[in-house]
Amino acid sequence: MTRIAVIAGKGFLAPAVAQALDNPAIYALEGFAPEGMQATTFRLERLLPFIDELIAQGIQKVIFAGAIRRPKLDPEAFDPRTAQIVPRILMAMQSGDDAALRTVLDVFEENDLTICSVSDICPDLIPESGVLAGEPSVADKRDVTRAAQLLAQTGSLDLGQGAVVAQGLCLALETLPGTAAMLEFAGRHSAMKPNPNGAKGVLYKAPKPDQDRRVDLPTIGPDTVDQAAKAGLVGIAWQAGGVILLDRAEAVRRAQAAGLFLWSVDAQD
């Protein structure tokens, strides 16, 4: 049986993926191991020796699961072989984090390691289209459409994967600080909606248009529901087939308790 390595990042996704696998090898970039999960750490400065270790252990497939930030690199820590590919990675970084990540994936594949996606391992974590809780109003649906249009335009700029829209106006876009920071910002500025009695606003999440969907899919879960409710929003929507929903039953329970809708949106809806 082919053994799979999980490259674990922060959050709850890596444990969920590891639980679905039989005897996975768990690794994490130094400084980004998820809490409560045993993982062997490695440094990006020694990427090629790390890949050698995977191959020596009979690893043939790798899945990336969880959040990481761009690490600080120590020029003195590079081994000679990894140092040779640094210019290639730095050049990709000039085009944004997505390009840099794709380059790192290319290095794995060039060493005969197959990159798996969450949809390959845990398809149930990626909901198909449909309303999971509550019911969006006509005004809410318009706000979701507007948010989807915004992300479709900003995706090429390598910004985040979320937007908050209320009454057709963008209250917040996700950037490097992440979803929680975006929702906190939106909550602080909720009074800027032109009609106090109008639509309260929605959070919408979607992958970037040209994103490699094997890695870094947008993720929501019960904590996202709590954050959206605290921000005064009325619901959360996302692109069907393109967003990971962690602990679906608990997310639905919290959404129902808070009066929020959860909507996995088909492109034709």
Q: Average pLDDT in the 12-31 region?
A: 93
Whether the pLDDT of residue 201 is over 80: the answer is yes
Q: Residue 91's pLDDT band (boundaries 50, 70, 90)?
A: confident
Q: Indicate the pLDDT class of residue 99, thresholds 50, 70 and 90.
A: confident
C-alpha torsion angle, residues 188, 190, 196, 201 (rounded to 10): -150
Contact 7, 32 (CB under 8 A): no
Region of poorest pLDDT, from 68-77, 88-97, 118-127, 229-238: 88-97
Assessment of whether the complete model's pTM goes beyond 0.85? yes
Residue 268: per-residue pLDDT: 62
Res 70 pLDDT > 80: no
Reading phi first (left if > 0) and then psi (alpha if -120 to 50, else beta), residue 54 is in alpha
User: Mean pLDDT across the stretch 172-195?
Assistant: 94
Residue 269's pLDDT band (cuts 50, 70, 90): low
Q: Which two tokens stand for residue 86?
A: 């640094």
Exposed, middle or buried: residue 127 (CB in 10 Å: 0-12, 13-18, 19+)?
A: buried
Alpha-carbon distance 144 to 171, whole Å? 13
Give CA separation, 35 vs 5, 21, 32, 53, 159, in Å.
18, 19, 9, 24, 27
What CA–CA distance (Å, rounded) separates 41 from 70? Answer: 16
Parallel, antiparallel, or unpaired: how do β-strands 59-65 and 3-8 relate? parallel
The answer to whether residues 47 and 18 touch, using CB atoms and an 8 Å cutoff, is no
Rounded CA-CA distance 168/164 in Å is 10
pLDDT at residue 97 in the model = 66
Q: Enumerate domains of the chain plus CATH numbers.
A: 3-121 (3.40.50.20), 126-265 (3.40.140.80)
Average pLDDT, the chain: 92
